[in-house]
Copies of this chain bind each other. A is one copy, B any other.
Amino acid sequence: MQITGQQVVLASRPDGAPKAENFRLEKVTVRPPGEGEILLASRYLSLDPYMRGRMDDRKSYASPTPVDGVMEGEVIAEVIYSNHPDFTVGMHVLSRSGWSSHCVSNGDGLIPLDDRFKPITTALGVLGMPGLTAYTGLMNIGKPAPGETVVVAAASGPVGSLVGQIAKKAGARVVGIAGGKEKCQYVGETLGFDEVVDHRSPDFVSELAKACPNGIDVYLELVGGEVWNAVFPLLNPYARIPVCGLIAQYNANDSQKGTDRLPVLMREILSRSILFRGFIVREYWDQRPEFLDEVAPWVASGDVRFQEDIVFGLKNAPEAFMGLLEGKNFGKLIVQFD
């Protein structure tokens, strides 16, 4: 058995926004699986904002990807050869095997996908890591009460869209923020948010204030940047801010000159009794069964809607990823392997 696969490696570390030259598509020879091993063929790759952090040489909650190392990521893969009793050919699994067409695995860490995932790509989006992020961040930290105002940025994306839909079910008034007419229309009409504000509007700040006449009680922070500046003055006493993403600042350098916003932030945390809590979804991994039990039926019934943006071909992953950081995707961004 001789298989030639392909993979995308980190060619060099980006300075600011990633460029095509920071990625390299390589051909690789896949070794045959040994005893107790299986061979996986990747079908779908999830592209997510957190990957930007791994490209920097900076310790974070996870180690950086080494230069010349395969770009990290979660894939849906199919077992195409098995020397392992627990995995049969044709099975689909979630695997953290990265931007790579194949993977030899001993089975550790693989998550078999059952027929609750329809279509199977939902395992990367609304029923996957982004969905679990939305659900656990809202339930454990945001805790919206009926009648409260929940604001969701990146509202057409996989995390924001689910946060808003679950918050609606909890009886909250939900205001979405998205970029551009098409996304805003989707958020308002298809997802049924109470209000939508376009962050590209020149009057974004005042439009957000107008959409939140009773202030903001929960803001799930996914983006940072200018959206945060507009949200901050509207926060009510006892507002809760689950922080799980900062896409607007991932490409920025650390030392930003200008006004130091920290003293005012701290003062307002104090005087408005605000809660901030960062979280990484793995903290709540043990809530995945309950999440799937609750949300999968909503997805199956069409009660919860989702949007996927599927790009064909691994060679197009770098460009798609660069677009993700600029909000060019519409819905959960997924690469289908060729």
Interface residues of A (CB under 8 A from B): 53, 60-61, 221, 224, 228, 237, 243-246, 249, 252, 254-280, 283
Contacts and interface: CB of A to CB of B under 8 A. Distances in A.
A260 B270 contact: no
A16 to B, nearest CB: 14
A58 to B, nearest CB: 9
Given A249-B263, A259-B257, A261-B261, A278 B271 contact: yes
B278 A269 contact: yes
* Chief secondary structure at chain A's binding surface: mixed
B264 A265 contact: no
B263 A259 contact: no
A260 B263 contact: no
A253 to B, nearest CB: 9
Residue among A258, A264, A270, A280 having the largest count of chain B Cβ atoms under 10 Å: A270
B278 A274 contact: yes
Given A60-B271, A274-B278, A275-B278, 8 more contacts: A53-B271, A224-B266, A246-B267, A256-B263, A258-B260, A259-B260, A260-B260, A273-B277
A231 to B, nearest CB: 12
Contacts of A271: 53, 60-61, 278, 280
Contact of A246 (B249, B254, B266): B266
Nearest to A228: B266
28 contacts: A60-B271, A61-B271, A244-B270, A245-B270, A246-B263, A246-B267, A254-B264, A257-B258, A257-B259, A257-B260, A258-B260, A260-B261, A261-B262, A268-B278, A269-B276, A270-B278, A270-B279, A270-B280, A271-B280, A273-B277, A273-B278, A273-B279, A273-B280, A273-B283, A274-B276, A274-B277, A275-B276, A275-B277
